[in-house]
Structure formats: C-alpha cells, structure tokens
Amino acid sequence: MKAIIHHLKDWLKAFFWAFFVIWIIRTFLIQGAFIPTQSMEKSLLSGDFIFISKWQYGARTPITPLAIPFMHQTMPFSESKPAYSDLIHLPYFRLPGFSDIKREDVLVFNYPMELERPIDKRTFYVKRCIGLPGDTLEIFAKQVIINGDTLNNLPSYQFVRKLKSTKALSQEWIDSMGISEGGLVSNMLDYEFPLTDSLTRAILHDSTVYGIQMRLDKRKEYQAYIFPHSRKFQFNNDYWGPVIIPAKGATIQLNDSNIILYERVIRDFEENELQITGGRIYINGEEKNEYTFKYNYYFGMGDNRDFSADSRSWGFIPETHIIGKGWMTFFSYESDKGIRWNRLFKMIR
C-alpha cells in the first residue's frame, strides 16, 4: 500500500510540474490562437492555428489572476459562466521585451470594444500594425499615408476589384484563382472579388475578363460604422483621417471636435472620469483644455482590406491590450478540404 501511495505522489508531482511549466510557457513565452475569419488573407487564413510570441515585445503579466488555467472567457460547454473572477484586478505591467512594435508587424491583441470584460479576458483579434504612436495617419483612396509619406502595400494586401466578364465565371475558375470571397453582383456579368495586385495582373491576361477596376467609396461619404462614428468626421473605409495616433507622454489640445476622437482613450482605456458639458471638457472633475496620454496606441488593419473590421471601425489599439506578435502557423485546417499541409510551421511574415 505504501508503494502505491509513493508512486501516486510521484505522479502527482510530475503532473504538477508539467502543468506549472506549461502555464509558465503559455503565460510568458508562447500561446496558441485560432484564426476564425478571412480578414488577414492572404497572410493568415480562416482555419489557421498560430503561435503568439509574447517574449518579442515582453509578456504582459496577468491582469485577472483569479482564473481557471488554460481557459479564456467561459467554462466548457457554457456561454454564460465565466472561467474567471474579476474580484482582483491587477494594474497593467509588461516585462522587458526584445523589440518594440514595428510597422507591418502582425499584432495579436484583446478586442478594445469589449468593455464588459477585463482587458486580458477580451476576445483575441489579429491585425497588421499600420500606424505607430505619434503617427499622423490618413487613408486616401485606399492608400495609407503616414506623416505625409505614402506607405507601400505588401504583396499580401487584397482590395476589392470590379470585374467584367464575357461569360459566367465558373466556381472552378474562381477556385483556380484562389478566390474565397465575393462573386456576381449584377446580371450583366459584373463581379466583385478581393484580389492582390499580382492576382489582378494575372487575371488581366485571361481572355474571359475584359475590365478590372478598384471598388472605391466616395470621398467624404459618411459611414456610420466607421470610427469615430460622428458626422463631424466624414470618414469611410477608403477615406479616413488624417488623425494623430496617441503616444505615451504626448500632450494634445482638447476641443469639442477632437474630443470625439479621443474620448474613449481618455475614459475607457486610461480610466478617467470624462464629462462634456456645454462645450466644456471635464476630466476627473476638473475643466481641461489639454490632455497627456498615459499609454501608447496603435492602428491596425487587415490585409484583406475591404473585408476587415479593424481600427477604421473601432479606433486605436491600446498597448495594454497587446498580447504579442503573430509568429508561426503551426496547424491549418479547411473544413471541406482537410489539413493544409503547406501551412504547417510556416513563419508569419
């Protein structure tokens, strides 16, 4: 009997240490995540499972420590019972990292709009970093402009193009081009597909297609779902800004117009009491005409530009929400075709 108890203790110790080591790795070094949407095609595909590098920028220490290990938001088989308790809320802190966030990095972060959940329990999002703290960012006719300079598009970027065809395009033709979204938009054989520049050039050599042009929103055409959701800013997906991205330590003058851009930052992300009364701005009970930011912020966009809900829709990404850098696709699965073998252990550009 003593031998059985001794072996059981050994097994429990081994299990505890294995559990502890995996928890340390997941919390401070590498964590897995699933890509459910097509907003990052062609870089990341729906059905990809990726590794997040937390050591790259420095791991964020747990903000909600009272949680069931390896569970993110809810208990298994339940969409209502949280797998954490928010009785203890620790301040934001990040360990030293190996590099700062760079433009065009693939960022994994907690969705900033889920204010009903603690920061580290909000849904994972993945976007490419386009704007850095302090940048003046503008989108003009889909082209990103940073501090007055045009930003080159990566080969993976897709934009919706309008195609005119001499005959109906078969699903076989669409699949052969690697197109996964879009389709016929009129009975005059007009199509719309998200295409990279290289695929656009290839299609132009197809005799079936005789016209391709970029789909473009009208300048100053207000779209209510675009941040900052105010008619004072006639922004849309293709024409946005110019707007200054908040930077830690930077001070801005506040007025009744730009407060619309930064009120969520001041109130929700930097945890101040904010009131706007009669054109006057009160922060923590004091009238203010300027504000100094506590944190850095970023602007993220999907590579599949016209099929991505990103910073154009909900605003800036606070540094407090950054989980890490997209590092590697370690597995990929397509529901109707099975495992994508060519994507296993593929580094994320």
Three-state SS at 270: coil
Residues 157-212: tens digit of each pLDDT: 999 999 999 999 999 999 988 898 999 999 999 999 999 999 999 998 888 898 89
Q: pLDDT for 210-257, tens place per residue? A: 889 999 999 999 999 999 999 999 999 999 999 999 999 999 999 988
The kind and range of the H/E element at 109 are strand 106-110
- The share of the chain scoring above pLDDT 90, in percent, equals 82
CB count in 10 Å sphere of residue 15? 10
Tens of pLDDT, residue by residue over 291-334, are 999 999 999 999 999 999 999 999 999 999 999 999 999 999 99
pLDDT value at 55 more than 90? yes
Could you tell me where the DSSP H helices lie in the chain? 2-28, 171-176, 197-204, 259-264, 311-314
Indicate the pLDDT class of residue 77, thresholds 50, 70 and 90. Answer: confident
Share of the chain above pLDDT 70, in %: 100
Yes or no: say if 135 and 242 are a contact pair by the CB < 8 Å rule.
no
Residue pair 46/36 in contact by the 8 Å Cβ criterion? yes
Region 119-124: what's the mean pLDDT?
Answer: 96
| Residue 278 confidence (pLDDT) | 86
pLDDT tens profile 131-159? 999 999 999 999 999 999 999 999 999 99
